[in-house]
Amino acid sequence: MQVFDKARGAGGRLATRRFEWIQENGSEGRARLDHGAIGFAARSAAFQHFVVEMQSQGLITPWHPALAPQSLPLEQDVPLYVVSPEMPLLCKHLLAGVQTHWSFALDRLTREDAGWRLQAGEQRHPDTFDAVVLAIPPAQAAPLLNGLRDDWARFASLIPMQPGWTLMGVAREDEAQGSEWTLARPELGPLAWVIRNDRRPGRVADPGHAHWVVHARAGWSRLNLEQDAGWVKHQLCTALEVFLGHEVRWAHAVVHRWRYALPPLGRTPSHPLPPAPQHWWDQRLGLGVCGDLFTGTGIEGVEGAYLSAMALVQDLQQPVTADLAASTDAL
Ligand SMILES: Cc1cc2nc3c(=O)[nH]c(=O)nc-3n(C[C@H](O)[C@H](O)[C@H](O)COP(=O)(O)OP(=O)(O)OC[C@H]3O[C@@H](n4cnc5c(N)ncnc54)[C@H](O)[C@@H]3O)c2cc1C
């Protein structure tokens, strides 16, 4: 098996940004901020089993966030988990021993008699493959599926993934401003989530500093998706100050735009899933799709992506019986 990813490293939306900057006193500041998935639930027996196994290896930690007094309550009625000390470590762990290719933005998939060929721009990978699985957001999968499985491509292109702007940064903090909470769901305004990242399990405390990760609401993000990053940063910094009720003295802060953060919550009649599949698999072609696009009925996000992938793995273990020449003719 080989894994190709357009990113520079493992993790996908289980993301942690490492950044460095020069502090006021001339020394170098460093921080790691989890700007993707906030945490994840384990509702199904299969994912609970996986979480327990990863917990026993010290990779996953339960997180019982202390809510800010002015926060809405959490909707989750089950524990949340985080990867320690940073979110991408789970994928790095699972990829141990696997041949990986980073910065490979797959934009062409073709079937030849010898099997599948992968191409990223001018770069054509020399190997051919019996089977290809796309484990990527639906909007990114759709163009690759065009001409191979038009029915899947059409469906994937119709899933309106929620975008998200995220502000992350390190701020100087006086003792007097200190509060004990870790997580907030503001009731009003552009912010959906406010997180004290340095207080999450396995993160390093930074005395005199607060590490903030702030996710804007999907609606606000959609409205301002193409805005200049500087403008977005200003808006989100202001919204954070309004929420906290005091000035935030940033040492360093940046914003990140997630074009495809999460699938829509709940299915609307205009975007129904086909009845009950947790993945797509075409045995004849040796082509599959999995990911969090197949979730939405109480099992979401990371757990949904895991279950979808595991269901596809079961199908993959069946031998590919495709008559490659016949399949190629059909494309
Ligand atoms: C801000 C934010 C908050 C979230 N909060 C939560 C939460 O609280 N709980 C929860 O359960 N989930 C949450 N999620 C969602 C969760 O992160 C995803 O559901 C999960 O990570 C999906 O995993 P995946 O493997 O399907 O896709 P991804 O993690 O998106 O991985 C896809 C990978 O494919 C790569 N890729 C894409 N296109 C190509 C291409 N053409 N060629 C090569 N590589 C490509 C990408 O670089 C990426 O590494 C959140 C996500 C975001 C962004």
293 band by pLDDT with thresholds 50, 70 and 90: confident
CA of 43 to the centre of ligand 1 (A): 19
Q: How far is CA 2 from CA 5, 67, 97, 141, in A?
A: 10, 42, 10, 18
80 CB near ligand 1 (under 6 Å): no
65 CB near ligand 1 (under 6 Å): no
11 Cα nearest atom in ligand 1: 49
CA of 323 to the centre of ligand 1 (A): 33
- The strand pair at 123-124 and 115-120 is best described as antiparallel
Give the C-alpha separation, 58 to 81, whole Å: 12
Q: In this predicted model, what pLDDT tens digit does every residue of 86-114 receive, in sequence order?
A: 999 999 999 999 999 999 999 999 999 99
pLDDT mean over 74-87: 90
Q: How many residues does the chain have?
A: 331
* CA 290 and chain centroid, separation: 14
pLDDT at 283 over 60: yes
Buried b or exposed e, range 172-201, using 16+ CB within 10 angstroms: ebeeeeeeebbbbbbeeebbbbbbbbbbbb
Q: Would you state the pLDDT for residue 175? A: 66
Ligand 1 atom 6 nearest Cα: 37
CA of 305 to the centre of ligand 1 (A): 9
7 CB near ligand 1 (under 6 Å): yes
Helix and strand numbers (H, E) in the chain are 8, 17
Tell me how far apart the terminal alpha carbons of the chain are, to the nearest angstrom. 24
Q: What percent of the chain lies above the pLDDT cut of 90?
A: 77
Best mutation site among 256, 262, 280, 293 for ligand 1 pocket (most ligand atoms within 8 Å of CB): 262
258 Cα nearest atom in ligand 1: 53
Give the C-alpha separation, 16 to 30, whole Å: 13
Ligand 1 atom 14 nearest Cα: 37
Which pair of tokens denotes residue 312?
A: 């596809």
177 band by pLDDT with thresholds 50, 70 and 90: low
Q: Would you state the pLDDT for residue 144? A: 97
pLDDT mean over 239-263: 95
- 270: number of CA atoms within 13 Å, CB side? 5
82 CB near ligand 1 (under 6 Å): no
74 CB near ligand 1 (under 6 Å): no
Q: In this predicted model, what pLDDT tens digit does every residue of 12-69 receive, in sequence order?
A: 999 999 989 888 888 899 999 999 999 999 999 999 999 999 999 999 999 999 999 9
144 Cα nearest atom in ligand 1: 41
CA of 261 to the centre of ligand 1 (A): 7
pLDDT at 180 over 60: yes
277 band by pLDDT with thresholds 50, 70 and 90: low
Give the C-alpha separation, 68 to 47, whole Å: 29
May I ask the CATH class of domain 17-92+162-262? alpha beta
| Position 81, amino acid | Y
Least confident of 42-56, 137-151, 173-187, 213-227: 173-187
* C-beta of residue 214 within 8 angstroms of C-beta of residue 166: yes
Average pLDDT, the chain: 90
Ligand 1 atom 34 nearest Cα: 136
Q: Give the residue among 216, 108, 227 at the shortest CA–CA distance from 163.
A: 216
166 Cα nearest atom in ligand 1: 1
pLDDT at 77 over 70: yes
Exposure of 202 by Cβ count < 10 A (0-12 exposed, 13-18 middle, 19+ buried)?
Answer: middle
* C-beta of residue 247 within 8 angstroms of C-beta of residue 173: no
Facing residues of 215 across strands?
166, 193
Q: In this predicted model, what pLDDT tens digit does every residue of 122-164 receive, in sequence order?
A: 999 999 999 999 999 999 999 999 999 999 999 999 988 999 9
Of 81 and 296, the structure prediction assigns the larger pLDDT to 81
Least confident of 68-77, 224-233, 312-321: 312-321
- DSSP 3-state of 28: strand
Residues 6 or more apart whose CB falls under 8 angstroms from that of 92 comprise 9, 10, 11
Q: Where along the chain do its domains lie? A: 17-92+162-262, 105-159+265-330
296 CB near ligand 1 (under 6 Å): no
Fold for 105-159+265-330, please state it. Answer: FAD/NAD(P)-binding domain (3.50.50)
263 band by pLDDT with thresholds 50, 70 and 90: confident
Q: Give the residue among 253, 255, 271 at the shortest CA–CA distance from 263.
A: 271
Q: Provide long-range contacts, Cβ within 8 A and 24+ apart, for 11-16.
A: 11/36, 11/87, 11/88, 11/91, 11/92, 12/36, 12/91, 13/37, 13/258, 13/261, 14/83, 14/87, 14/88, 14/90, 14/91, 14/302, 15/87, 15/88, 16/86, 16/87, 16/88
CA of 148 to the centre of ligand 1 (A): 23
- 249: number of CA atoms within 13 Å, CB side? 8
293 Cα nearest atom in ligand 1: 26
107 Cα nearest atom in ligand 1: 41
Facing residues of 304 across strands?
none
292 CB near ligand 1 (under 6 Å): yes
CA of 241 to the centre of ligand 1 (A): 29
